[in-house]
Amino acid sequence: MYIVMLGAPGSGKGTAAKILAKRLNLPHISTGDMFREQIKKETELGKLADSYISKGELVPDELTINIVKDRLTWDDTKNGVILDGFPRTKAQAEALDKILEEQGKKVDIVPELIVPDQVIIDRILNRATCSNKECGAIYNIKYKPSKVPGVCDICGAKLVTRTDDNAEAIKNRLEVYRKNVQDLLTYYKEKNVLVSITPKDPTAENASEQAVDEILK
């Protein structure tokens, strides 16, 4: 099954995608994580991506499409994937369809997580993520803090915040998302694969679990 997770930055789509990946035993592909890894390694790709991401802007389509196309050639993607952060534009969605079509595959479902802006802003400003990529646990300093400040409960690794998690960048990212998402939503709606998901309580610790339950109904 090929699933595309949609939702504004901070909507919880990343957490929901990880839960879906575990339940369905499929790889979770996050373009954001891939770019951040390149940025951390200070590669040329990372430096180029960071020049956009640090300002809350989208990485150009061509750059993003190429990195996803390469990832979809790996053996672990043959039965499906959970895509998180891609596509973000209609052009990327069309490119994804072509990539999958070449493999005799297609996008099966596109859940869109809908969460109020104020909840999103509060979430992001208080978000901390485990620095261990194998773990990747996400915490909220305000609503879901770790037992020991700055330390992951699961693996004991250091918790980090993203350099692009600041008020100005968050507002810009929300504006960019809304500017690009309408055509994307229309595109997937016309293909009858779009499903709108609204958590009953987006501030609850299990909000993402609730969203996944709705997706798998």
The pLDDT, as a whole number, for residue 165 is 63
**Which of 69, 71, 162, 189 is the catalytic position?**
162
**Which of 18, 88, 90, 123 is the catalytic position?**
88
**Is residue 173 annotated as a catalytic residue, yes or no?**
yes
The pLDDT, as a whole number, for residue 127 is 86
Residues 39 and 162 sit within 8 Å (Cβ to Cβ)? no
Coil/strand/helix, residue 34: helix
The pLDDT, as a whole number, for residue 164 is 64
The pLDDT, as a whole number, for residue 155 is 97
**Is residue 13 annotated as a catalytic residue, yes or no?**
yes
The pLDDT, as a whole number, for residue 31 is 85
- Tens of pLDDT, residue by residue, the chain (217 residues): 999 999 998 888 888 999 999 999 999 998 888 888 788 888 887 888 888 888 878 788 888 888 888 889 889 999 999 999 899 888 999 999 999 999 999 999 999 999 988 888 888 888 899 999 888 888 888 878 999 999 999 999 999 987 666 778 888 888 888 887 899 999 999 999 999 998 888 878 788 888 999 898 8
**Which of 18, 105, 123, 173 is the catalytic position?**
173
**Which of 13, 90, 105, 123 is the catalytic position?**
13
The pLDDT, as a whole number, for residue 184 is 94
**Is residue 162 annotated as a catalytic residue, yes or no?**
yes
Q: Whole-prediction pTM value?
A: 0.76
Q: How far apart are CA 41 and CA 8, in angstroms?
A: 27
Q: How far apart are CA 81 and CA 69, in angstroms?
A: 13
**Is residue 71 annotated as a catalytic residue, yes or no?**
no
The CATH code of the domain at 2-114+166-215 is: 3.40.50.300
Q: 96, exposed or middle or buried, with CB in 10 Å at 0-12, 13-18, 19+?
A: buried
The pLDDT, as a whole number, for residue 45 is 79
Q: How far apart are CA 162 and CA 164, in angstroms?
A: 5
